[in-house]
Amino acid sequence: MIHRKYLAFLVAILMASSSTAQVETVGKLRISADGRYFIKENGEPFFWLGDTGWLLFAKLNREEALKYLEDRQQKGFNVIQVSLIHGVSAVNAYGDTALIKRNVATPKITEGNSFSDSVQYDFWDHIDFIIDEAAKRGIYMGLVPVWGGNVKSGLVNTEKAKIYAGWIADRYKNKPNIIWINGGDIKGSDSLNVWKTIGQTLNEKDPNHLITFHPRGRTTSSSWFHNEDWLDFNMFQSGHRNYAQDTSMSEPHRFGEDNWRFINLDYSKKPVKPTLDGEPSYEQIPYGLHDTTLPYWQDRDVRRYGYWSVFAGGSGYTYGHNSIMQFHKPTDKGKAFGSRFYWFDAINHPGAGQMKHLKNLLLSRPYFERVPDQSMIAGKQGIKYDYLLATRGKNYAFIYAYTGKNFKVNMGKIGGTSVKATWYSPVDGSTKEIGAFLNKGVTAFNPPGEPKEGNDWVLILDKV
C-alpha cells in the first residue's frame, strides 16, 4: 500500500506536469535605479501582484496547494504572502509539527522519513515542496518567518530569533523565488529588537533576497525601519476599517479607507524605497473585521484599494480574501472573521480575477518612467470615494475614477499635440475608445454608466 504522503506527492507531480499556462520566470529581484519599483534579473519590470495565503503551509496538503497555486498563476498573481510559522504549535495537514517544544530555535527535522533517501517528509519538507512548485509557476513566496503575536507574547526573544532567522536563511537562500517579510501584523515598536535581529540576520545570511516588514493595521514599516539597511522596501497595512470606524486617537495614521495617503507618506521619505499596500480590506470580510452583522467588503472595494495605491506611486498591490487567507475548510472546527465560504469556492470570487487587469494595464506602457501626478486633475480632486488618482509616463497617462462621475483634465502633461483617449474597465479589462483631443487646455470626460460606487473606470490618454 502506498503511504498517504507519497500518494499525495505523486498526485502533486502529475498535476504540476499538466499545467499549460504561460509561466513567468523567477530569479533575483532588485530595486529600480530611481528606488521606486522592482526589477527582474533580466531588466524587465516586476509588478508585485500578491495574494495573502497566510496559512497555506499549515492548512493545505500538497494536492490542495497545487490547486491553489494553479489558480493564482492563471489569475496573474506573482507573490504569495505566507507564514512559515503562524504559531509556535504549528502543525500541517499531515500532522507534522514545525518545532521541538514550541521553540523557534529548534525546528523539527525528520531525516530520511520517506520511500526515498532523496525525499524527506516533515513540516519543512512540505514547505519546500510548495515553494518549489510556486517557482515552476513564476510565483514568489513572501515568507513571514514567525507571526508577530508569537513575538509580542514573549515566545521569541532576540537569542532565539537570531538562531531561527539564521537557520531559515541558510535553508532558503538558494531558492530563486523568496522574498522575506519580517513581522506579521505587528507594530515594529512591539519587540523592536527582535524584529531588528531577524532583519539583520536574514540580510547577513541571505543578501540576495529582498526584505520588508508587514506591520499592524493602519501602520507602515517606514515608521520604524525605513533607515535600516536590511529593509529593501516598505509595506503598509491600510487595514479593514471603513471611514466611520477609523476614529481611534491612539492610531498614528487615521486615513480611513484612503490607502493612497500611506503611499504619499512613504513616497516622500529619503532614501527612496518602493512601497505597497500589503494588506487592504479583504474581499468578503466584515467592515472592521469583528462584527459579522456589518456589511462585507466586495470586489469593487479591493479594486479601489488597488488602483488608488498603485496610481499614487505604489510598486505593487496585495489582494486578500477572508476565506482564502485562513484557507477555511469543511473540516475546520471553527472559522475566523465570519468566513462564509470554503477556500476552494472563494478562489473563484470576482475580486481575485479582476486583479490581473491592474497588472496588465501598468505593464502595457513604459513602466519605469511612470510617476504619480495629481496636477492632471483640473479643479477639485474629490474626497473619499470620489477621489481621483492620476499617474503618467512621458507619453501616456492613467486617471482612475471609482464612482464614474464626470471630471476634467489639465491637458499638456504628456507629449504630443493631440492625444487618443480610451476608457479601460478594471472589472474585465475591456476598452472603449473615446476619440482624439488637442493636448492643451482643460478637457471634460464623462465615464460610461451612471455615477455610483463601483462604476470605476480608468481614463487612458496616449500621445498620438
CATH number of 373-463: 2.60.40
- Which has the closest alpha carbon to 260: 222, 316, 223, 309? 309
Per-residue pLDDT band at 61 (split at 50, 70, 90): very high
**pLDDT band at residue 302, thresholds of 50, 70 and 90?**
very high
Taking only the tens place, the pLDDT of each residue in 92-104 is: 999 999 999 999 9
Separation CA 215–CA 205 (nearest Å): 23
Task: Determine contact, residues 262/220, Cβ cutoff 8 Å.
Answer: yes
Which of the two residues, 229 and 114, has the higher pLDDT score?
229
Per-domain residue ranges of the chain = 4-363, 373-463
User: Which pLDDT tens digit goes with each residue over 110-151?
Assistant: 876 554 444 558 999 999 999 999 999 999 999 999 999 999
For residue 21, is pLDDT > 60? no
CA distance 175 to 344: 28
pLDDT at residue 113 in the model: 54
Between 4 and 409, whose confidence is greater? 409
Here the contacts of 93-96 (C-beta below 8 Å, separation 24 or greater) are: 93/58, 93/59, 93/60, 93/61, 93/64, 93/126, 94/4, 94/5, 94/61, 94/121, 94/126, 96/121, 96/122, 96/123, 96/126
Question: What pLDDT score does 250 carry?
Answer: 67
Question: What 3-state class would DSSP assign to 154?
Answer: coil
pLDDT above 70 as % of the chain: 93
Calculate Rg over the CA atoms of the chain: 22
> What is the per-residue pLDDT across 153-166, written as a single tens digit (0 to 9) for each?
999 999 999 999 99
Give me the chain's average pLDDT, please.
Answer: 94
Assess whether pLDDT exceeds 70 at residue 186.
Answer: yes
pLDDT in tens, 393-437: 999 999 999 999 999 999 999 999 999 999 999 999 999 999 999
Q: What is the pLDDT of residue 6?
A: 45
pLDDT score, position 254: 86
With H, G, I as helix, E, B as strand and everything else as coil, classify residue 14.
Answer: helix
pLDDT band at 7 (very low <50, low <70, confident <90, very high): very low
Helix or strand holding residue 105 (H, E): strand 103-107
Max Cα-Cα span within the chain: 77
| Type of residue at 275 | T
Q: What is the C-alpha to C-alpha distance for residues 288 and 286, in angstroms, rounded to an integer? A: 6
User: Which whole number is the average pLDDT over 166-179?
Assistant: 98
13 or 79, which is more confident?
79
Q: How confident is the model at residue 5 (pLDDT cuts 50, 70, 90)?
A: very low
User: Tell me, what's the pLDDT at 459?
Assistant: 99
Query: What proportion of the chain, given as a percentage, has pLDDT over 90?
Result: 90
What does the chain come to in residues? 464
Q: Running DSSP on this structure, what letter comes out for residue 263?
A: H
Superfamily of domain 4-363: Glycosidases (3.20.20.80)
Calculate ∠ Cα 174-180-186, nearest 5°: 160
d(CA 443, CA 131): 50
What is the structure's pLDDT at 16?
Answer: 47
